[in-house]
Amino acid sequence: MANFTSITLSFLLLLFVFSGNNVGDATVFTLQNRCGYTVWPGTLSGNGAGNLGDGGFVLPPGESVQFTAPPGWSGRFWGRTGCTFDKSGKGKCATGDCGPLKCTGGGAPPVTLVEFTVGSTSSEKDFYDVSLVDGYNVGMGVKAVGGTGDCQYAGCVADLNGNCPPELRVTGSNSGSVVACKSACEAFNAPEFCCTGDHATPQTCSPTQYSAMFKNACPTAYSYAYDDATSTCTCSGSDYLITFCPTGSSG
């Protein structure tokens, strides 16, 4: 009996240590809504792990929510606006739509994206960015909290809807106001804007007047597919604050 007890206690101790390391390496994402209107965040896992927040949820103005991601997690976050859902979660959104309240796929362009690949251990680098490659619908920012390394702020804090060229505008069905700004790829579906065909490499796909407009407004965000040098951020052992409307907005 003494040997059995000793083995059992040793096993439990090892289990505790192993579990503790997992918790220590986990990454905490805090999503905060500083917009003057409700946002319905969408989440999507890129490596088979469960979607954080069951894929989608409601986030009223001034509120925040936290989720813990396991080591090695990758995925994306985005904001949906102008949504209407019934009690069963069926409905639609004016921007960033993914179908039901709890998304099972990505958000429909144009949509601002936050993308993450978390390190497998706390010493490995996390990679993250804010992308306007699929267009823009709401300002988003990412701040690293408590990490080591470069840990740059990534984001698009400018209101691109207010300065969107007419040919890229998406307007609300009722209000007529600009609710999103398309990427040039979505608007024109041409290789030079989509980095496809003869323009499918970094050497042959250059910035355009439209990506330059996005870049000037949001210097730390991806403006087109090969905008890596100034847009990919890294940090190790960090938690992250993801903010909708980082500078605030009256809606």
pLDDT for 10 beyond 70: no
- Domain ranges within the chain, ordered by starting residue: 26-249
pLDDT for 180 beyond 60: yes
Sign for the CA dihedral angle at 68, 70, 72, 77 comes to negative
Domain 26-249 class in CATH: mainly beta
Give the other-Cβ count within 10 Å of 207's Cβ.
14
Torsions phi, psi for 216 (to 5 deg): -65, -35
**pLDDT top residue among 3 and 76:** 76
pLDDT tens-digit profile of 17-75? Answer: 333 334 457 999 999 999 999 999 999 998 777 789 999 999 999 999 999 999 999 99
How far CA 217 is from CA of 159, 165, 187, 203, 242, in Å, comes to 8, 13, 19, 24, 19
Distance of CA 97 to the CA centre of its chain: 14
* 202-208 contacts at long range (C-beta below 8 A, 24 or more positions apart): 202/226, 208/184
pTM of the model as a whole: 0.88
Q: Which of 70, 136, 81, 71 is nearest to 109 (CA)?
A: 136
Instruction: Give bridge partners of residue 240 from the DSSP assignment.
Output: 29, 144
